[in-house]
Every structure is written in structure tokens, then in C-alpha cells.
Structure 1
Amino acid sequence: MSSSNPLRGKLMILLVFILFLPVAIAVQVLRIQIIDGRDFRSLWSEQTLDELPIKAERGQIVDRKGRLLATNFVETKVAIDPKAPGMTPDLVDSVAFKLAQYTQTSASDYIQKIRSTIASPRYVVLERSAPVMAVDHLRSLNLRGIILEESYKRRYPFNELSAHLLGFVNHNGFGMTGLEKTYDAMLRGRDGAQQVRRNRNGEITAYVGAPQRLPEHGITLETTIDGNIQAIVEEEIRRGMKRWSAKGVTAIVMNPKSGEIVAMANVPTFNPNAPATSPTPARRNRAIADMIEPGSTFKLVTAIAAVEQRKVRFDEIFDTPEDGRQLVYGQMLRDHDPLGTLSFTEVFSKSSNIATAEIAMRVEPRDFYQYARALGYGSPTHIDLPNEMPGRLQKPYEWSKVTLPWMSIGYEVQATPLQVLQSYAAFANGGEMMKPFVVKRSLDWNGKVINETTPTRIRQVAQPETIQKLLPVFEDVLADSGTAEQAAIEGLQIAGKTGTAQKYTNGGYGTSNYYASFAGFFPSRDPMYAMMILVDEPRGVIYGGWTAGTIFRHIAERIRGVDRALDKVPFIPQEDTLRRQVFEGALAITPDFVGQTREEAERFLRDLDLSFDIGGKGDRILRQEPVAGQRMNLDQPMKLWVGSMNASEVALEVPELRGLSMKQATNTLMASGFEVQKVGSGTIYAQFPLPGERLRTGYAVTIRGKTRDLGTSIQSDRSSAMIQTVGGLP
């Protein structure tokens, strides 16, 4: 008996457990279903809910006339689930055959891909970007096993056009360069979301009443770019690069009155639709990212500083050495050719490095530095493009003794092409510098203006009077004797300056690699366009006037063809040397009026607004004071004496020409009615007939010229050995 009691007790415990277990389960079920049911159902609902993004469409970029430069297209990925309900092997093969009708892939390749997929047999990607007609056909089949996934992809309709301005996006749609990077957040917008449910197998199902957050599409950028002019610029710089066998060419066109960038281009370039196919250097916007020594285009700073500080007179004459070389602080400074005696205007129109350095050395270093800074050198322009370099302009305490003369001709200073253009745009705009910009307006998806860029004035770089005095000087650069003759266009007034700078490589300035440039604006008296052309390492011809100047002319001629407003700007004929000097308030070379009719002489003098006295009776000028060829004070009246003379008997006195420049002598002889026989160039040292002899009009006067050194010197005790022989280029 006693031995059975423990066993009975264990059985009783087991029986109680068996009897109460269903009760416990029932109580737990009751708690879950009734007491805590609402909370558990809410938790289950939260765990099965998910969100699918609704992609926002990236904003468009258009030119100033609304033409699309960057837009989007819908790319459809085609996948298949061969195990979806209703998908038989025959239907799978049928899908493969239908898709193959629109692509370059065969149906057998699609079938093989489906059957060989092991990793994810229920999601097999057949095409990542299927043709639109293929997508429409597959969608019409209405098969659950066909998966069509749409996404937005960036597209640049004109391929390379404006590539460096626009930039490109990466595979995730984020801007990498250009406007795409600067305005990335605004262009991307904000994605929306669609709420869905997922079952325990991860399958997604929609449900009625599911909340949805609509996407906020990106803004549209309306730029200052003119698509027509941009295309012209890109075509011409490609031609220029090929013609001069150059390493690269950069061009910028700007509205000097507002700062709007009308065009900006570089070659080599790239296709933003496939940026990885081009090397990294081709994707760099060299117009704002490359710092160069600007060469003679920097002489604008020297001219403004010297005139504004009254360190030079417009009637001043500069004598350059006979061999075109000058030792400056122990370093050899060269002109591109021996230039002889030069007027102030000719110093810049013929681009004399020696005379420019002489002028600059009259200006205090701190003043010269301030003018360079005022003209934008040494600081970024803050254009709305990424990766802009600030340039390099040393402070005066960092200068060596040779810095000022060499900086005056564009060395020991670095600038981007845009900085050079900005300085000339300020010159064109009466000395008022404007901030350059590319985006004019931003608009929402409905076309409503969100923001509009207002042209921003930066500073006044010089007095308007200084600008007006210098304008004829830089117009003369495009005259027959100027360094930019190749940039001149008949009927269109242009002002500007050439530049040809040796490239600093391997610790020194070589003699084979150059930057050739031309910066200018037109029409010069009412500027609408300012333009900078930079040619990197041209071959054959290295000078800026020939290379960059020619490209400038071709672009300007074509802009004139598309912008009819240029034809409405009145053309003021290019004045001769005397007329220019009169406008500048200088002393002029007296023309020869002897032999001319009274009416001709009066008309000429009145046109120049010169005072004069005429004595005697008759219809021909017999005598004059000052005599022809002498310097004339424009504040004193010209005296003429008239008498009678038959036209067939006109024999004029040959003027004194010795000591004049070849150009001045030629103008004097032609004004007197003589033909000119020129021998050599530079300063006139001999003539035939001799001064004072009489010669009939129409006969030739022979003049002989040569360069001469009249002792112009620059103290060599202010020398430094910082730079080797540099210069000699216009």
C-alpha cells in the first residue's frame, strides 16, 4: 500500500495538469482575442505596413528663350516572374519573343536568361531600358508575371551643347558638376510615398484608402544662355582648335551691362548623357577652373591705373630700343618686334611691353595693386557655377623688384578667363563692374516664378572720364597697324586687346608653348556683348591677334547675323590719328592744307571742332601755321592764307617727316595728296624729296624708317633675378 501512494500522487498531479491546460489556453486566447485584441491588431497592422517612394521628377533647365537644355525621360525596366500565377512555360516564351521584336536581343537569349537564373528565379530582369513600343505591347498583355518598373532618367537633348555649363548627374540622379551641382537640391525636389501592405512572404499589396504623399517635383531653371549663340560659339571654337592645332580653346560671351552669361564653352568637351566616355580634363570647365597668366590683355589695368593717377599724357612719345629689347632690373624685357617711336595709343595698339612697363613703373605699387583688385583680379567672380578658382594676385609686400613691370604686361599674376572677361566688361560698361550669373529665373512645376536674379553691381572700377579717354586707344588695337587687325569687322566697332603669354612649365618659361587670347566688346560705343577667347598652345601661329582674334571675328560676325539689334546701333567711323588725338584732348600732328580748296579745309577743321582763321582772297590754301608735320596745340587756332591757283598747277611743299613714325608720316603725306613709297618701318630717318621742296600732288614721296634707341632706359639697380627672359609678345 505504502509503495503505491507516491505513484498515485504523481498521477493526480498529471491529471490536474491535463485538466487545467485547456483552461489556461482558453483563458490566454480570450485575453488575446478580447482583452488585448485591439492592441495586437494595431501592432500587426503597423508591422505589415510599408511605404513605396514616388519619385519626384528632376527640374528642367532651359535657355533664355525656353529651349530645353536638360530634361527627363521615363526609363522602363522589364522583368518577369516565371512562377507567377497563370505564367505557363508557353506564356514565358511568348513574352520573350514579343520583347525580342523591339530590341537587339534574340528571344532565345531571353529564354536562356530566364531558365538559368538561380539567385532570384521570381525576378529576372530582361531589359533595363526597354523601347516605348515594347513596353506598351507588354502592358497590353495584362499578365501578372510581367513586371514593368518606371523611373526618371536625365537627358540632354543637344548632347555636348552647353555641357560645361549644365554639368551632369550620377546614376542616383545627384548633380556632379555645373548647374546640376549648384542647384541640385532645388532641381531634385522631394519624393512622395505610397503606403502598401506586405504579407509574411514579403509580397506587396495595395489596399483601399491607403494614404499617399504626392511628390514635389524639382524647379525649372531659366538660364541667361542663348542657345543659338552657344551653338555658334561651340562650332567656331572647334574650328579654331582644328585650324591652329591647339590643345584647347575656351570662349565666353557676356552682357557687360547686366553680367548675364550668354555663352560659355570649352573644347575638348564631353557629352553629359555619357560623361564617363570622356577623360576628366575634358569635363573641367576651364573658363572658371583654369588659372593662367593673362599676358597683354592685362595691360588694361596698366592703362587705367596710369591715366587715372595722371602718370602719363596722351601726347607723350615713347622711344623704344632699336633692337626691341630692354634690360629691366637685370631681366631682359622684349617687344614682339622693334617698334621704334610710339604714341601713347600705339603703346597699346601695337602692344609694346617695354613702353607699358615704363608707364607702369610710374605708378606706386600699392596703387597698381588696388586697380588690379578693383578690376576683379585675385578674387572669384562668385558666378553661380561650382569649382571656380579665385586667381592669384600677390600683395605689394610680396612683390620683388621685377614684379611691377612684369605684372603690367600680364605675368606674375594668374586669372581665369572669366576674370579677364569681367574686367573688360567693366571697361565696356563705363567702369561699372557687374556680377556674372547664369540662372535668370527659377519656376515651379506650374510655371510660377519663384525667384528672379537681379543684376548686381559690384563696384566702379574707374572714373567714367578715364574710360572715355581710353576707349579710342583700345579701338585702335583693331586698326590696320594694331595687333588685332584680324578681329576687325567692317561696319561694327570693336574695342579690345590681344594677349600672347608664354606658359610657365617645368620651372621656367619655354619658347614653344603659349596662351593666345583676345578680349573685347562690341559695339564699342554702346556695348551689347563682351567676349573672351583663349587658345591653349596654338601651333604655326602663336599670336593672340591671329588665332584668338580670328575666332572672335567669326563668332561676332555670326552673332551679328542672329541679333538684328546690332544693326540698329549707329556706326561711328574709325577716326584717323589726328581725329583720335583731338578727341583725347592731346597735341596732334598738323595736316598739310596747302593746295587744298578753302571749302575742303574749312569742312575738315569744322568736323574736328578746331578753331581757325583764314586770311586772303582766293580758293586755294597757299600757306599755313603751324606747318604740316608739326605738333599743333588744339587750344590755339589754325591759321590759313588763301590765294588763286589752278588745280593743274598745284605744287605743294613737302613737309618735314623725319622723326615721325611711319604711320604718322604716311597719314601726313596722304592728307596732302601725295603718294607714299615706304622703305622699312619704325621712325622716319630719311625722305625724298627733302623738306621744303615743292612737288605736284599725286607724285610719290619716299620715306625710310628704322627703329632707334633714343636713350630710353629704366634704372637697372631695381633688379631681381626672379624671372628669366619673358615677353616679346602682343
Structure 2
Amino acid sequence: MRQGRPGRKRAGRERVSRPGSSRRGRNGEVLNLPRGDRRPRTGGRSAGRPSSRASGTSRKHVGPRRLPLVVLAVVLVGLLLGGRAAYLSVVQFEDFQALASENVSAEDLGRRGDILGSDGRELATSIQASKIVAAPYQVENPAKAAGRISGVLGDSGPGMQEIENSLTARDGDGGLAGYSVVAEEVAPEKVLEVEDLGIAGISTEPDAVREYPHGALASQLIGYLGDYRNAFGGVEAGYNDALSSGQDVDLTLDVAVQQQLQESLDDAVSDYDAKGGVGLVMKVDSGEIVGLANSPSYDNNDFAQAPAKEQRNRILTDPYEPGSTFKAFTMAAALEEGSVSPEDSFSVPDSLKVSGVTINDSHEHATERMSPAEILQESSNVGTTKVALELGGKKLSQYIQRFGFGETTGIDLAGEAAGSVPPYSEWSGVSIGNIPFGQGISVTPLQLAAGYATLANGGFEVEPHVAEQSETSGKGGKGDRVISGETSDIVRGMLQSVVDDGSGGYAQIPGYSVAGKTGTSEKIDPETGAYDDSYITSFVGFAPADDPEYLTLIAVDEPQDSMWGEKVAAPAFQEIMSFTLSYFNVAPDRPDYEAPRLSGSPERFDEDGLPGYPDAATGDYPAPNGRKQGGGGG
């Protein structure tokens, strides 16, 4: 058990002022303290008493008979005053402790609820400990006392100088304080040793230590409880009222899935020397979050050592341009409105001018005829723009809002960003040529996952949440309908073809149908406002495709060596989705499916990491010349 970590000491914390003319009793009533009888004075002398010097008379001396009486009176007064002082010292410190206990009991000493995983495992819990407190005005030799206390606490407690500062803390009037916390989170055996020192003015009080048994597991989601019971982020902050009142909070998060998610995400970040990454596993019908990971993570037991950027739950705080993963929403809107049908065919060159701006596909190719499904399979920017032109910008803008982009999802965690979606009145001429494939807007990974849940679950919006549906959370279940069940079925089939036959092949899972979409989005330089040479690469999908149960999103920030979602993010998706389906005993819907992309198919990428596309006749994957384009490639 950790004890009295440096940096957690509350030196000089003042609960009540040092006593003056009044103090509060144990029940809070104001008690008037005697200040000693005083005779009224006039002109510096006692009234009615002539000055010996003014009268010229000599002073009267105490005779021998009166001297013993005077001495006895002085002794009695001294004893009375000394006894009174001792009484006040003891009672006052007891009152300080009583008042401190009254202030602490409801908050510091009250049991804080545990945070539990869906399997009942403790993710955050409080362990009983003690704190060492002082009444500085009673400590006779602070330096010596500090040395003795420091010797007992050792490296687990504050340093000797910090302890001495606590023992010499001052109140608001400049006098030595009546109450000061010397050390917190002290183990029981250390408490006994401090008590055995017998230092006047030093005592102990009950305390509690917040522990995170799984260390870095889901640290950004769980949050952290700091000094004075201040909650920082995650469930600790989002459910602070419930936890403070002693209620446990049961999460939808499964520890085993979370561990696998973090491992797969960390591997992707490490393999491509990336800046970081985020991952999510969610139930498509209810919005229950089964796993949520940020890489790099940190250990909440050492929260103060974690950089601020790592403490953020980036899956809901950091918007980005979604790139090609957004194409599925453009296609769904066009299908829902009847602007296109699955049987339509588009003439798709490798570039197209929109309002004087050239839109490029991610690779050069001859003009081809493509169906809507093939446009998604090939992740064609030009084909997606042509579909959007059939729909119209105004309708597309309306569906973007209906899918929930541009507003928060309502997750039961603090700090969620809304992203940025320009209203249709602010669209420029080229907006219809870049928004349809995920440029010119920003979304959080959580928003993107919630939108894909709508595509997968029959067309209903979901409200992501991390706490079990209860009176505590008020979350769960499907929301309003966004698209029809028929459109949802069609889009699911198209996204399955992306994995079976298109740019999402490395997401294939033996025995299961998988649907999803790759994404590669250029990042904007915050200083210049222009696209730079860094990317966020992603894959989001669900399984089984025909009757989806789970959705997984993987996004990797600034991978090196490759910028393609299929190469960087899809393998991590495949790993965690395979684990999730097996772990929750989801029956295979294609028992004989061997996932050809994973079982000896030709290499999908050329030596430069650029994607090839299968030849219709041979099934081989040539490596065409790639070219940089304005984002949105797969």
C-alpha cells in the first residue's frame, strides 16, 4: 500500500482559526472565554487612588504578617491560571479535532463508491489508511519533531522540511495554527509507530487511499481522484455525486476486452512508430461501450507523472477530419432519398473538377464504370462526389446533422467535443466536392463510431455510454430513426463488400462476415491552416455483417512508413474484433469462410506501402502508381 506520497501533503491547511475571545464547542455553539478581571483605568492610574508621588507621601509596605498571605495568593492564582491553560490546551485541541472530524466525516471519511467492470472486477476502489495531523501551537520543538516523524515515514512520506512546515503552519491572524495535515495515506503500521513517538500536538485521523488495481487499464475512461477529493475526468468526475455518496458505479466495460483492445492498439502504434492512437468496442444496438482505449496510456496510481495530453480521453475530446470513413454516410443519405440506387452505374475518372478545384482519387486509373458498392470498395473520392452531386448539398447537410455530427453524442463522460460541421449556408462551391468524403468537417472518433452503429443497427441513433443502464446513468437503448431499415441493409451489404472484395481486406475474420471502411485523412497544420504531410489512418467496422452485434474503431495518429487504413488500422481491428466475437460466444455466420486475404493471397501493398486493387480477371493485386491527393483515400 502506498503511504504518504510526496506532493499529496496538505501543509498548513487550516480548518478553524486559533482561539481568541471565543471558540466553538464540540456541538458548534459559541463559547465566551474569560479574559481576566480588569479594573477600569483613568489617566493611566486606578480611579480613586491618589498617586504617592503627587501627594508626596511615602508608599505603604507590606508588613511581615501580610507577606505569607500575599505569597499564598500568588501561588493559588498561578496554579489556577496554569490549570486553566492546561485545560484549554487539551480541550481546545480536542475541539479542533472534533471540528475537523465533523468537516471530514461526510467527505474524506465517508466511503467512496467503487468503479466496477461489467464482470465485477474493481477498476477503482478506496482502501482504509490514516493521516497524521498536528496542532502546531502545541508542538514544542518543530524541527526535532519533524525529524522523528520523517524517520518513521521514510521515503513513503513527505520530506522533513515539508513536515516542519506543517508543524509551524500559521493561521489567518499570523499565530500558530490549530490544525494542520502532516501526511496522508499512511499505512497502519506507520501510524502506530508515529503514535508511539508520543509527540505533543501530534495525532492521527482515519483516511482513505484511492487505488486503481489495474494500473494503466482504461485510465482515461476511469479518471482520477486527487487531493481534497477533487475528481479529474472520466467516471470519477462524471459520476462524482454517486461515488461520493457511497454508491458503486457498474460499467459496461469488460476488463478482458479492454486488455486486448489496449494491446492491439499499442502494437499498431508501436509497429508504425505512430504518435498515438485510439480504439473503441461498442454494442451496435445499445451504445454500451465494452472497451475504450487511448495510446499511450498512463497509470492513475501515478497520475501526477502523466503528461496532460495523455490524460485526455482523446476518443471524445479530439476531433479530426474523418476522411474516407465518412463516405458511407454520403452513400446512405443518397440511397435513403432515392437519389441513387444500388443498380446505378457511374462513370468514374481518376480526377474531377468542382468549382475550379481538382478532386483526385488516391491512385491513377482509367475511367471506369462503378456501381455505388464499387465506389465504396475502391474508396473513390471522385465516385463519392458524383453520388453527392446527385443528392445535392442541402440534403447532404441535413443528413450529416441527422447522423449526429456537429453535436455531442451525450456520452456520460465530461469533456466531449462536438466537432465542426459548417451549416449549409456557409458551404462554398467546392464543399460538395470535399465534404462527401470527409474533408472540411471534423468529428470525434466517438461520433464516428455512433454514426456507424446507426448504419449497422437498422437505422437508429444510439447514445454511447460507459455505465450500466440504471437510475444512475439513465442511458441505453435505441433512439430516433435516422434511416430506414432497408437503407441500413443495403449499406451493410456495401460495407461488407469493402472487406470481402475491396480496400478493407485485412479486416477479414475466418467464419464471420465483416463490414467496414478504411480511412486516411490528412492533418491540418494549426499554424498555417493548410494540409501537411501527416495523416490519421483508421478502420471502423462491425460484425457479423448480416446481424451486427459489435462495432470496433481503430485510429492511428501519424503512422510512419504507411498512411493506409487497410495496412495500419485494419489488422488491429481484425485482432480485437476476432477476440470480442469469440469471447462473447457470437456464433460464426459463415463457418466455411476462410478469409482469403489472410490465407495466402498476393501482397496487398507495393514496396512503397501503396495499395493495389485486384484484377477482375485474375484476382491479383497489381501495385499502381500512387499519388498524394486531398485526403479521403482509403
- Counterpart code for 2:357: Q
Number of residues of Structure 1 aligned to a counterpart in Structure 2: 508
- Give the match for residue 378 of structure 1: 406
* 1:227 is the counterpart of 2:255: yes
The yes-or-no answer on 1:311 pairing with 2:365 is no
Mapped pair 1:147 → 2:203: yes
Q: How many angstroms does 1:487 deviate by?
A: 1.6
CA shift for structure 1 position 385: 0.6
What secondary structure, in the 3-state scheme, does the structure 1 residue paired with 2:387 have?
helix
SS of 1:351's equivalent? coil
The answer to whether the Cα contact below 8 Å between 2:276 and 2:556 also exists between their aligned partners in 1 is yes
Mapped pair 1:326 → 2:352: yes
Q: Determine whether 1:433 maps to 2:457.
A: no
Deviation at 1:128, TM superposition (A): 4.2
**Residue identity opposite 2:340 in structure 1:** V
Alignment of 1:341-360 (within 5 A): 341=368, 342-360=370-388
Which residue is 1:631 aligned to?
A: none
How far off is 1:74 after superposition?
2.6
Distance apart, 1:558 and its partner CA? 2.6
Query: Counterpart of 1:163?
Result: 219
Q: Give the Cα–Cα distance (whole angstroms) in 1 for the partners of residues 226 and 556 of structure 2.
A: 31
| Map of 1:474 onto structure 2 | 495
Which residue pairs with 1:70 in the alignment? 124
Cα separation, partners in 2 of 1:298 and 1:59, compared to 1, 3 Å: same
2:589 to 551, 570, 581: 570
| Contact 2:265–2:277 under 8 Å retained in 1 | yes
Deviation of 1:337 after TM superposition, in Å, equals 1.4
Cα gap change, 1:352 to 1:113, in 2 (>3 Å): closer
Hey, what's the Cα distance between the residues in 2 that align with 1:167 and 1:679? Answer: 46
The reply to whether residue 274 of structure 1 matches residue 302 of structure 2 is yes
SS state at 1:172 partner = helix
Distance 1:250 1:680, change over 3 A: closer
Spell out the pairing of 1:296-695 with structure 2 (5 A cutoff): 296-321=324-349, 324-340=350-366, 341=368, 342-440=370-468, 451=472, 453=474, 455-479=476-500, 481-505=501-525, 506-563=527-584, 565-566=585-586, 568-571=587-590, 663-666=615-618
Q: 1:514 and 1:284 mapped to 2: Cα distance?
A: 20
Partners in 1 of 2:166 and 2:112 — Cα distance? 37
Q: Quick check: 1:306–1:359 contact (8 Å CA) kept in 2?
A: yes
- Counting strand residues as a fraction of each chain, which structure ranks higher? 1
The verdict on how the C-alpha distance between 1:116 and 1:230 changes in structure 2, with shifts beyond 3 A counting, is closer
Distance in 1 between residues matched to 2:214 and 2:342, nearest whole Å: 50
Indicate if the aligned counterparts of 2:288 and 2:464 stay in contact, CA closer than 8 A. Answer: yes
The answer on whether the counterparts of 2:135 and 2:167 sit within 8 Å (CA) in structure 1 is no
For residue 361 of structure 1, give the secondary structure of its aligned residue in structure 2. Answer: helix
Structure 1 residue 572: Cα displacement: 6.8
Partner letter of residue 73 of structure 1?
A: I
Name the SS for the 2:453 alignment partner: helix
- Tell me, yes or no, if the aligned pair for 1:493 and 1:572 is still in contact at 8 Å: no
CA contact (8 A) 2:323 2:632 kept: no
> 8 Å contact 2:536–2:557 — kept in the other structure?
yes
Superposed displacement of residue 571, structure 1: 2.1
Q: Residue 69 of structure 1: SS of its match in structure 2?
A: strand
Q: 1:422 to 1:82 in 2, by over 3 A?
A: closer
> 1:176-206 CA distances to partner (integer Å, 9 max, x unpaired)?
21122222222223xxxxxxxxxxxxxxxxx
Q: Aligned partners of 1:78 and 1:282: how far apart in 2?
A: 33
Provide closer, same or farther for how the CA distance between residues 417 and 125 of structure 1 changes in structure 2, counting only shifts above 3 A: closer
* TM-score of the aligned structures, taking structure 2 as reference length: 0.71
Q: Which runs of 5+ in 1 are unaligned?
A: 1-9, 12-43, 190-217, 443-449, 577-660, 668-677, 683-705, 708-723
Say which is worse superposed, 334-343 or 420-429, in terms of deviation: 334-343
> What is the one-letter code of the residue matched to 1:485?
G
Q: Is the alpha carbon distance of 1:363 and 1:83 closer, same or farther for their aligned partners in structure 2, counting shifts above 3 Å? A: closer
Task: Please list the CA deviations of residues 559-595 of structure 1 after superposition, one character each: whole Å capped at 9, or x if unmatched.
Answer: 24432x22x243276799xxxxxxxxxxxxxxxxxxx
**Shift of residue 313, structure 1, vs aligned partner:** 3.4
SS at match of 1:726: coil
Matched, 1:180 2:201: no
Q: Distance in 1 between matches of 2:418 and 2:194?
A: 55
Displacement of 1:418 in angstroms is 0.5
The residue number in structure 2 matching 1:635 is none
Give, in angstroms, the shift of residue 462 of structure 1: 1.0
Q: Measure, in 2, the Cα distance between the counterparts of 1:351 and 1:424.
A: 17
**Amino acid of the residue matched to residue 630 of structure 2?**
V
Whether the aligned pair in 2 keeps the contact of 1:331 and 1:725 (CA below 8 Å) is no
Q: Percent identity?
A: 29
How far residue 170 of structure 1 moved from its aligned partner, in angstroms, is: 2.7
Pair 58,541 (structure 1): closer, same or farther in 2 beyond 3 Å: same
Question: Counterpart in 2 of 1:726?
Answer: 630
2:136–2:168 contact (8 Å) kept in structure 1: no
1:536 CA drift (Å): 0.9
Q: 1:111 to 1:82 in 2, by over 3 A?
A: farther
Give the superposition deviation at 1:112.
Answer: 14
Tell me the residue number matched to 1:130.
186
- d(CA) in 2 for partners of 1:472, 1:428: 10
Instruction: State the one-letter code of the partner of 2:187.
Output: P
Aligned to 2:114: 60
After TM superposition, give the deviation of residue 499 of structure 1 in Å: 0.6
- On the 8 A contact 1:164/1:283 being kept in 2, the answer is yes
Deviates more, 1:369-378 or 1:491-500: 369-378
Distance 1:470 1:160, change over 3 A: same
Measured on the aligned residues, the alpha-carbon RMSD in Å equals 4.0
